[in-house]
Structure 1
Amino acid sequence: MRIVVVADHAHINGGLARVAIDSAKGFARRGHRVDFFAAVGPVEPGLKEAGVAVTLLDQPDVLSTSSLLRFGAQWLWNGAAAGALATLLASCEPTDTIVHVHGWAKALSPSIGWALKGAGLPVVHTLHEYYLACPNGGFYDYGAARNCDYKAMSPGCIAHDCDSRGYRRKLMRVGRHALMRHGSGLYDTARHLITISKLQRGIIAPYMPKGATFYEVGNPIDVTNLGPKGEHKPGGFVFVGRLSAEKGPRYFAQAAVIAGVTPVFVGDGPARAALEEEFPQAKFLGWRDPAQVREVLRAARALVFPSVWYEGQPLTVYESLALGTPVIVSDVCAGREAVADGETGFWFKSADERSLADAIARLEDDDLARRMARAAHARYWADPLTLDRHLDAVAAVYEKVRADWRKASTPARHAEALS
């Protein structure tokens, strides 16, 4: 089987890229021919080491380009991406190829839909976010700092300023979304969709093409089984991730004040300066490499995950549980699906600092923290989200998608033969 993986970035800069790259390497090592198509470099060295053929456009991420004109052209319709992808797909044998789209919104643009539709190959999309349904990709109102109440692309949605950079950018997003939906062909290829949580499917399903098929496949978690924690005194409460409004770091800081604990933040982002000023007692460790993050999580009493948007499958939650650290998680994000409330952590009411403070106060009990730590480790490793398990599940999806493609294309090929 030839697998063409499509993503904005050829290096790991977040969960989406990690899953795309790790799965590409995994399938190559299983003997499949794998192509990785991306706009933004550098190239993760492990791709070529695994035998993956990389097509890199060497373009900037739309957030990092210094030219407003270039940003607009690439973001709305990346013609170079469409042409290069069309060329790559033209070299593929239809009967043994599948195209797997992981991301397009940060650099590749809706233009890749033209290439995908024109090639006529079987396509599957993994929905790491919501750009196929929502103009800003998250069903999140950045101005109000809460989930959006409007139906995507309804008159109310179009009129409302939900964008983090202002209403003019929102209108650009609306225009691009209309182009994606009606003028690019990309939406038309969204017939086979991998979702990474039950919550995500429930949110996005009403917006997808009629008759679309959904497959739930959890992302792999890159973590080593270190065994259960010892009986030493548990550490403190830790936040790991981007310091931005939708991740809810301020609710953690507020709850920590109420509960009388010191909040620890691992990560960086646009909200950091304001948080440091408002909460001088908090500890800000900045970005850490993956090994350092795992050390912090392993030593913590609990991970606090206060996300206030419909986050699809927060990998940090699973990683924390795998390391034997309980999780206090917002009830609005899919991280709650991994946490057994009262057993491996607590759910709290989203955007409610007092509900979060109550959960933190409960875990101040050392004996309870130790019991939850043991339960978190045991529950995760009873059914771990390994890369092999992920590859097996995705391979099964590929076979179903290819079978559906063969069934749909047989009449056309028969008619062509008769002519």
Structure 2
Amino acid sequence: MVKNVVIVNDTACVCGGDSQVAMAAVEALRDAGLNVTYFAGTGQPDPVLEDVPKMVVGKCTFADDPFKVRGALRGLWCLETKRALTTILADFDPSDTIVHVHSWTHALSPSIFAAIHQAGFRAVVSVHDYFVACPNGGLFDFQQGAPCCEEALSRKCMLRNCDKRSYAQKVYRCVRYSLQRRALSKLDVSYAYIDEFVEKIVSPSCGFAPGYVLENPVTAFASACCDDTPGEDRDGFLYVGRVEREKGVELFCEAVYEGGFSATVVGDGSRLEVLKGRYPDIRFTGWLDARRIVSLYGTHKALVMPSLWFEPFGLVALEAQMTGSLPVVVPDESGIAPLVSLQGTGLLFERGSVESLKAAMCRLDDDTLLASLRASVRENLNQNINERSGRAYAVRAIRVYDQILGS
């Protein structure tokens, strides 16, 4: 039976979906009575970690290291990280301890898997993205702006210039992926897929390693922030997320422009200034904190998640629904699409199609349809909050941990 969990994550602060989940997991597992220790590569520790034993190894991500060559070498295999994690694990017994890894590519490196293996522990790797199946982590060709399904490290994969930055960076990522795959092959590892969509895509790359669907916890805003603004008084569409090509924000802006809709884009990223100049009628807010985002949920008719890549889940879409009032428009090929379809809480469109997205947005001019979708969101509100609560996550996670330790 599990007693201890060592959570491993690139950062000790919330700066993305994986770290947000890692912090929620800390709270949930601690409240469930487990001894939780947190190991990170960088970042000022979040307040959630105040009373949690922790170690933060470095001062910055590998990409932000002022000595670029040193940062690049550490990104491939960081001996400092390996030694530090080995020291942490020396205080635990492998028979009642699970090491749960959430992310490692930005500030830890694949050396963590060697440390876990050599110390004799079993590990769970949460699959928040596609780094266990793809060198660039996205199953996405960032040059072409389309998904890529080449087998990792195959000849076609190696020759394809799919990286955000350059082909040289792609080669670097392939070297790192090779080291990662070798380290994982020696480790007693199980994979925690965040939904069945991700499991279907990634599991073929994981060989015979056990896999479990472990749905992430989601923060529920509804109890404090639910807005009762009538549907007819809501105006425009809302995008919340990174302003990057793979997130489909340009697809969203083009659909807004062609359809003559009003819209707000919340978030920061490399495409922000370009899009602000190209679409002057769209409101771009830049980064906003959670409270200000929630206030926007109450004034827009729907949230649009226009991702071009295979969006593993779409945390923001469920968060928006948990206001109790906001329907969503999501790609048909995404982790959250089956839930939206099953509950009738939004509309689906063909991933990557401006015309399909525009048509879905046009449908929401129908006040009757919009009211029906909002009613469905409210009908499913309590179920979604309960199933995605920290308490429910802890029950699911502990069940997985016990199965692994008992096998």
Length-normalised TM-score, structure 1: 0.92
> How far does residue 301 in structure 1 lie from its aligned partner after superposition?
0.3
Please give the alpha-carbon distance, in whole angstroms, between the structure 1 residues aligned to 2:35 and 2:335.
33
SS of 2:64 mapped into structure 1: coil
In structure 2, the residue matched to 1:374 is 375
Alignment of 1:94-243 (within 5 A): 94-182=94-182, 185-189=183-187, 191-210=189-208, 212-226=209-223, 229-231=228-230, 233-243=233-243
In structure 2, the residue matched to 1:358 is 359
Contact 1:328–1:346 (Cα < 8 Å) also in 2: yes
Contact 1:229–1:374 (Cα < 8 Å) also in 2: no
Please give the alpha-carbon distance, in whole angstroms, between the structure 1 residues aligned to 2:349 and 2:33.
45
> Counterpart of 1:380 in structure 2: which amino acid?
L
Contact 2:60–2:107 (Cα < 8 Å) also in 1: yes
- Percent of residue pairs bearing the same amino acid type: 30
Contact 1:190–1:209 (Cα < 8 Å) also in 2: no
Please give the alpha-carbon distance, in whole angstroms, between the structure 1 residues aligned to 2:94 and 2:349.
49
1:109-157 Cα deviation digits (max 9, x unpaired): 0111110110111211111111112100110000000101422211000
1:276-328 Cα deviation digits (max 9, x unpaired): 11111111011110111111123210001000111212110101111121101
Please give the alpha-carbon distance, in whole angstroms, between the structure 2 residues aligned to 1:263 and 1:292.
16
In structure 1, the residue matched to 2:402 is 399
> How far does residue 65 in structure 1 lie from its aligned partner after superposition?
2.2
> How far does residue 230 in structure 1 lie from its aligned partner after superposition?
4.8
Alignment RMSD, CA only?
A: 1.6
218-227 vs 161-170, greater mean Cα deviation: 218-227
Please give the alpha-carbon distance, in whole angstroms, between the structure 2 residues aligned to 1:378 and 1:187.
45
In structure 1, the residue matched to 2:24 is 22
> How far does residue 66 in structure 1 lie from its aligned partner after superposition?
2.5
SS of 2:391 mapped into structure 1: helix
1:194-234 Cα deviation digits (max 9, x unpaired): 10111101111111032x22111211111232457353522
> Counterpart of 1:181 in structure 2: which amino acid?
R
> Counterpart of 1:330 in structure 2: which amino acid?
P
SS of 2:124 mapped into structure 1: strand
Please give the alpha-carbon distance, in whole angstroms, between the structure 1 residues aligned to 2:185 and 2:248.
31
> Counterpart of 1:395 in structure 2: which amino acid?
I
> Counterpart of 1:189 in structure 2: which amino acid?
L
> How far does residue 31 in structure 1 lie from its aligned partner after superposition?
2.7
* Higher RCO structure (Cα 8 Å, ≥6 apart): 2
Contact 2:140–2:162 (Cα < 8 Å) also in 1: yes
> How far does residue 172 in structure 1 lie from its aligned partner after superposition?
0.4
Alignment of 1:28-107 (within 5 A): 28-48=30-50, 51-107=51-107
Displacement over 4 Å in runs of 4+: none
> How far does residue 9 in structure 1 lie from its aligned partner after superposition?
0.3
Q: 1:386 to 1:117 in 2, by over 3 A?
A: same
SS of 1:46 mapped into structure 2: helix
Please give the alpha-carbon distance, in whole angstroms, between the structure 2 residues aligned to 1:311 and 1:190.
28
Please give the alpha-carbon distance, in whole angstroms, between the structure 1 residues aligned to 2:23 and 2:34.
14
SS of 2:63 mapped into structure 1: coil
Please give the alpha-carbon distance, in whole angstroms, between the structure 2 residues aligned to 1:7 and 1:126.
10
* 5+ long unaligned stretches in structure 2: none
SS of 2:310 mapped into structure 1: coil
Aligned residue pairs total 399
Contact 1:78–1:111 (Cα < 8 Å) also in 2: yes
Q: 1:297 to 1:231 in 2, by over 3 A?
A: closer
Please give the alpha-carbon distance, in whole angstroms, between the structure 1 residues aligned to 2:138 and 2:360.
27
* 5+ long unaligned stretches in structure 1: 405-419
Contact 1:247–1:306 (Cα < 8 Å) also in 2: yes
Contact 1:252–1:263 (Cα < 8 Å) also in 2: no
Contact 1:35–1:53 (Cα < 8 Å) also in 2: yes
